[in-house]
């Protein structure tokens, strides 16, 4: 069997679908039957194929394992009311994928290959896309260096893999976050805007400390002074103060989130004032102390809108009003949900329909 771009499709002989408990979906541990893979060799992408999801065989000298040339993306596909599947804004993820690739000295992927592999894989594993509310298909593209060579230089070869997982809600509670004042996620001139694996590895230790202190997540601050808000561990961050929606402007230390962009476009279309600018930590603490901080959230593909109900800064813990009373976050969540599920008109043409 071949697809439009002429890649080979080898179907699994033993689907695992009937073993999945769709009423109890954890995040990122249940994988759909198939995966897409392609290899970059001799300066071009080769051997594109869909094969049963399974283990890889790698040399212990695989350069990604030693020098970290690896990055990924994260998207979601939603079951629409008409049975089709809508992948949310994959064009933006493709653009960011190639931005990460350039920064990590890795090859880019043509949009056609990115979208076609997505379409064919999801088409084949269509029954893995969950039907229930709050569920979706998480889509994970990843690329890594495969050259078996113990020397620090850009690899000559790479592997691209696309895999999918049916998932439930990422966070099912309000977040208690700590504003980080010691460690940094990224710095000017660094790789904070890329989705490279190393950014996440470096965040594990500070996040673990915060979790031992009873927090769910960190809010990263700038590396120089820890005086400006950046983003959370796996999402951008937004605050509603005096009915103005504020979020740090994107720059090379922050990931340019697809959800962030979508939320800002929605808010602007509703006539809400939006400000993308440096946000001093002091402004957030002042607004907490004076009760002016109305809503705060992490916004990202995995979590969508994750309400922040408590913020720790130095020795103090500040409480926000009960997120159940917030109106803007609910409106954003509902609107995004309705658009993705095909319950309302996709006015921004954000859905990639499969
Ligand atoms: C560090 C970081 N910031 C922000 C985001 C949000 O980006 P997006 O909305 O594209 O998922 C993510 C998740 O991908 C992330 O890992």
**Per-residue pLDDT band at 233 (split at 50, 70, 90):** confident
First-to-final CA distance of the chain? 19
Q: Which of these, 14, 17, 15, 308, lies nearest to 137 by C-alpha position?
A: 17
Q: Tell me the CA–centroid distance for residue 13 and ligand 1, in Å.
A: 36
Average pLDDT over residues 13-22: 95
Report residue 6's pLDDT band, with 50, 70 and 90 as the boundaries: confident
- pLDDT band at 302, cuts 50/70/90? confident
Report residue 211 as tokens: 């979790």
Tell me, what's the pLDDT at 109? 97
Cα 2 to averaged position of ligand 1 atoms, centre (Å):
33
Which residues contact ligand 1 via a Cβ below 6 A?
74, 231, 234-236, 255, 257-260, 300-301
Statement: residue 125 has pLDDT above 70:
yes
What is the DSSP code (8-state) at residue 100? H
| Probe target for ligand 1 pocket from 237, 258, 300, with the most ligand atoms within 8 Å of CB | 300
Helices 90-103 and 258-269 pack at an angle, to 10 degrees, of: 140
Residue 99 banded pLDDT, cuts 50, 70, 90: very high
Question: Which two tokens mark 290?
Answer: 């004076």
Domain at 8-169: CATH architecture: 2-Layer Sandwich (3.30)
Name every residue whose Cβ is closer than 8 Å to that of residue 352 and which is 6 or more positions away in sequence: 86, 87, 88, 89, 90, 91, 115, 118
CB 173 within 8 Å of CB 298: no
| Mean model confidence pLDDT for the chain | 95
Q: Per-residue pLDDT averaged across 287-307, rounded? A: 94
Pairwise CA distance, residues 326 & 240, whole Å: 10
CA atoms within 13 A on the CB side of 66: 16
Map out the domains of the chain as residue ranges.
8-169, 175-341
d(C-alpha 344, C-alpha 342), whole Å:
5
> Does position 172 have pLDDT exceeding 90, yes or no?
no
- Tokens in use for 84? 């089709």
pTM of the model: 0.95
Q: How many CB atoms lie within 10 A of CB 333?
A: 15
Q: What is the pLDDT of residues 241-274, one digit of tens each?
A: 999 999 999 999 999 999 999 999 999 999 999 9
- Cα-to-centroid distance, 232 and ligand 1 (Å): 9
Q: Is the pLDDT of residue 169 over 90?
A: no
Q: How confident is the model at residue 2 (pLDDT cuts 50, 70, 90)?
A: very low
Is residue 1 predicted with pLDDT exceeding 50? Answer: no
Ligand 1 mean position, distance from CA 328 (Å): 20
Of the listed ranges 58-67, 113-122, 161-170, the one predicted with least confidence: 161-170
Which atom of ligand 1 is the closest one to the Cα of 260? 9
Pick the CATH number of 175-341 from 3.50.50.60, 3.10.20.30, 3.20.20.70, 3.20.10.10: 3.20.10.10
**Residue 295 Cα to ligand 1 middle (Å):** 19
CA distances from 61 to 6, 105, 139, 145 (A): 32, 19, 28, 11
pLDDT average, residue stretch 63-78: 97
The least confident of 80-94, 169-183, 229-243, 251-265 is 169-183
Averaged pLDDT, 94-113: 97
Residue 55 has pLDDT above 70, yes or no: yes
Tokens coding 249: 């402007």
* Beta carbons of 143 and 158 less than 8 angstroms apart: yes
Between the CA of 146 and the centroid of ligand 1 the distance, in Å, is 26
DSSP labels for 318-334? EEPPPGGG-SHHHHHHH
Collapsed DSSP state (helix, strand, coil) of residue 76: strand
Mutate to test the pocket of ligand 1, among 136, 235, 265, 336 (most ligand atoms within 8 A of CB): 235
Looking at residue 134, its pLDDT comes to 86
Tell me the best of 201, 255, 260, 297 to mutate to test the pocket of ligand 1, counting ligand atoms within 8 Å of each CB and taking the most. Answer: 255
Separation of CA 235 and ligand 1 centre (Å): 4
Q: Which of 72, 232, 259, 340 to mutate to test the pocket of ligand 1 (most atoms within 8 A of CB)?
A: 259
pLDDT band at 133 (very low <50, low <70, confident <90, very high): confident
- Check whether 351 has a pLDDT greater than 90: yes
């Amino acid at each position: 069997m071949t697809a439009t771009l002429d890649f080979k499709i080898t179907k699994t002989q033993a689907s695992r679908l009937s073993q999945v408990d769709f009423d109890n979906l954890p995040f990122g541990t249940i994988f759909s039957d198939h995966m897409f893979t392609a290899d970059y060799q001799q300066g071009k992408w080769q051997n594109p194929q869909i094969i049963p999801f399974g283990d890889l065989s790698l040399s212990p000298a695989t350069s990604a394992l030693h020098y970290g040339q690896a990055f990924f993306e994260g998207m979601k596909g939603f079951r629409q009311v008409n049975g089709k599947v809508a992948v949310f804004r994959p064009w933006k993820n493709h653009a960011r994928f190639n931005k990460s690739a350039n920064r990590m000295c890795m090859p880019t992927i043509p949009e056609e290959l990115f979208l076609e592999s997505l379409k064919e894989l999801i088409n084949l594993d269509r029954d893995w896309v969950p039907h229930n509310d709050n569920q979706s298909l998480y889509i994970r593209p990843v690329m890594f260096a495969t050259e078996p060579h113990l020397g620090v230089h850009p690899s000559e070869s790479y592997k691209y893999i696309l895999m999918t997982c049916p998932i439930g809600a990422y966070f099912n509670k309000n977040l208690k976050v700590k504003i980080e004042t010691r460690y940094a996620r990224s710095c000017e001139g660094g790789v904070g805007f890329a989705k490279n694996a190393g950014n996440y590895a470096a965040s594990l230790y500070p996040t673990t400390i915060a979790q031992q202190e009873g927090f769910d997540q960190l809010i990263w601050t700038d590396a120089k002074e820890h005086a400006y808000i950046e983003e959370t561990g796996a999402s951008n961050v937004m605050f509603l103060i005096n009915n103005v929606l504020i979020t740090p402007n994107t720059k090379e230390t922050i990931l340019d989130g697809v959800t962030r962009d979508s939320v800002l476009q929605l808010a602007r279309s509703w006539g809400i004032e939006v400000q993308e600018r440096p946000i001093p930590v002091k402004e957030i603490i002042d607004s907490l102390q004076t009760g002016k901080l109305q809503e705060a959230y992490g916004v990202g593909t995995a979590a969508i809108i994750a309400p922040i109900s408590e913020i720790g800064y130095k020795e103090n813990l500040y409480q926000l009003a009960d997120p159940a009373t917030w109106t803007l976050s609910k409106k954003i969540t509902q609107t995004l949900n309705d658009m993705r599920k095909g319950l309302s008109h996709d006015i921004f043409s954000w859905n990639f329909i499969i």
